[in-house]
Structure 1
Amino acid sequence: AGLAFAAAPRFLAAARQRIEQEMRDDLPLHLDLVALAMEGGATLPAAIGLCAQHAPDGTLRRAWNRVLLEIHAGAEPLEALRALEDRLGFRLFGNLPAALRSSERFGIEPAAVMREKARHAAGVRFSRAEQLARAAPLKLWATLMLCLAPCTLVVLAFPVAKMLALVAGG
């Protein structure tokens, strides 16, 4: 019981980090879907509904459904997005609610703001993938040194040992 009590916080932190990363990875696609629906003439709540309906299943899709429930309960769409970030405990959308509010004030098309935010999220995702790709050779180095190098030495040492045995015996 004590071991489980000690391991639970680590397990929960790892699960939370995995969910956060899944949401950040899925965000560009979801924002593109919302932008596409808004470019087609849908309002923000309708676009979020279309995204929740057609997006691949995952944590972010369930979050969109929760936002829709709040909107249907009477919350403003931008306030529902802000409440989602408060529930998650991290800034998923960055300044998206403020940018959408400003776009309404200045007459800028909200779909363009959504599209730009999706482009930015895709760039962040790509830079994270590059960073992970740069770290991969270091992880492979340990595998190389622990597995391949000893096997190579065994393969090369066998013929040499056989030749030495022939020379010593004959």
Structure 2
Amino acid sequence: MLFLFAALVFLPAMQTRKLVVDNLVGDGTIDRRSILGQDQRARIEAQKPVEAYFKSIEKERNEPNALEAKLFRAGFYRASAPLIYMLCRLGAVAVGFLVMYTLLSRILPPQIPGFFAFAAASLIGLGCIVIPSIMLDRFENKQKQVYRRAFPDFMDMMITCADAGMSLEAAVERVSQELAGTHKWLGIQLSIMNLQLRAGKPLREALRELADRIGLDEAKALAVLFRQSEELGTSLTDALRVYSAEMRGQRILRAEERANALPVKMMIPLGLCIFPVVMMVVMLPVIIRMKGIFF
């Protein structure tokens, strides 16, 4: 209950207070020595808490919730996903408490009072609250891998459409239709981006929100690339081609990094499983012969 109170009540209140304090910082250039300046400063100080409060509420309404954004990046798009996630955390706490209390009540001797088993089961049950968070992180990383595998194809198709003379908005619409069959999840994200472009949102803002939704560094770098190319007036096709080559080079480097880390990871199963068997095969005939000679 303390964890839930801190997560649902205390932390949002502290964040709201921080937003209000941040908005209160910084006075204008007012002459504090004059009576008019002191009066004006008093009015500003009286008005600032009200303005800061409404600004903080407006900011909280406009910005998406961190939990909802994390669930969206993990692939859970329903509106009831945050509620289900909180119920899963409560269920993990309850199941962990019941399981540990049952085990401890059977394992511990009867001389130990039951309060010790109850306290230990309560602590372990509260520790189980992190299990849904760990699973959510795993789902998010898995979804990022899906996006990362599909992103080079998206870049190649964007380059092809740009070389054909299509505008960027038309290229995004065409690529989202093509990727809907091969890469489902990235196609869904591009369809959302296409709807935002149709609603009148600028391309760089739509790309920035796409990068926030999928959580990829490649998408964030692409949004920065579009913005710099638009500000500097350079050729977008050449920039996309260079960035696509760099991204494929990074994929090769990540594959080489995993391949180089494989011998180190193989040392544990080799030492635990294969090395004892090899020692038994080598030393067993020597032990049998020594037994026949000396014993």
TM interval, shorter chain, is: 0.7 to 0.9
Q: Which residue of 2 aligns with 1:40?
A: 164
Instruction: Find 1:155's aligned residue among 265, 281, 287.
Output: 281
Residue deviations 1:64-107 (CA, integer Å, cap 9, x gap): 12111212233233321122123345544234344334445655
Q: Which residue of 1 aligns with 2:265?
A: 139
Instruction: Find 1:8's aligned residue among 132, 139, 155.
Output: 132
- Could you tell me which runs of 5 or more consecutive residues in structure 2 were left unpaired when the two chains were aligned: 1-90, 97-127
The 8 Å contact of residues 159 and 237 in structure 2, kept in 1 or not, is answered as yes
Query: Secondary structure of the residue that 1:42 maps to in structure 2?
Result: coil
Task: Measure how far apart 1:8 and its partner are.
Answer: 1.1
Distance (Å, rounded) in 1 between the aligned partners of 2:221 and 2:178: 25
Tell me whether 96-105 or 146-155 shows the greater mean CA deviation.
96-105
Distance (Å, rounded) in 1 between the aligned partners of 2:273 and 2:224: 53
Bigger RCO (CA 8 Å, 6+ sep): 1
Instruction: Find 1:109's aligned residue among 220, 228, 235.
Output: 235
Distance (Å, rounded) in 2 between the aligned partners of 1:114 and 1:76: 18
Please give the TM-score of this superposition, normalised by the length of structure 1. 0.80
Same amino acid, percent of matched pairs: 26
Matches within 5 A, 1:12-31: 12-31=136-155
Tell me whether 81-90 or 117-126 shows the greater mean CA deviation.
81-90
Distance (Å, rounded) in 1 between the aligned partners of 2:186 and 2:223: 17
The 8 Å contact of residues 28 and 119 in structure 1, kept in 2 or not, is answered as no
CA distance 1:137–1:46, shift in 2 (3 Å)? same
Distance (Å, rounded) in 2 between the aligned partners of 1:149 and 1:41: 62
Count of residue pairs brought into register by the alignment = 169
Please give the TM-score of this superposition, normalised by the length of structure 2. 0.50
Matches within 5 A, 1:29-108: 29-55=153-179, 56-89=182-215, 91-104=217-230, 107-108=233-234
Letter in structure 2 aligned against 1:112:
D
Tell me whether 29-38 or 46-55 shows the greater mean CA deviation.
46-55
The 8 Å contact of residues 176 and 188 in structure 2, kept in 1 or not, is answered as yes
CA distance 1:166–1:132, shift in 2 (3 Å)? same
Letter in structure 1 aligned against 2:191:
N
Query: Secondary structure of the residue that 1:28 maps to in structure 2?
Result: helix
- Could you tell me which runs of 5 or more consecutive residues in structure 1 were left unpaired when the two chains were aligned: none
Query: Secondary structure of the residue that 1:93 maps to in structure 2?
Result: helix
Letter in structure 2 aligned against 1:34:
M
Distance (Å, rounded) in 1 between the aligned partners of 2:184 and 2:224: 26
Letter in structure 1 aligned against 2:188:
R
Distance (Å, rounded) in 1 between the aligned partners of 2:281 and 2:136: 46
Structure 1 or 2, whichever has the larger Rg, is 2
Task: Measure how far apart 1:53 and its partner are.
Answer: 2.8
Letter in structure 2 aligned against 1:31:
M
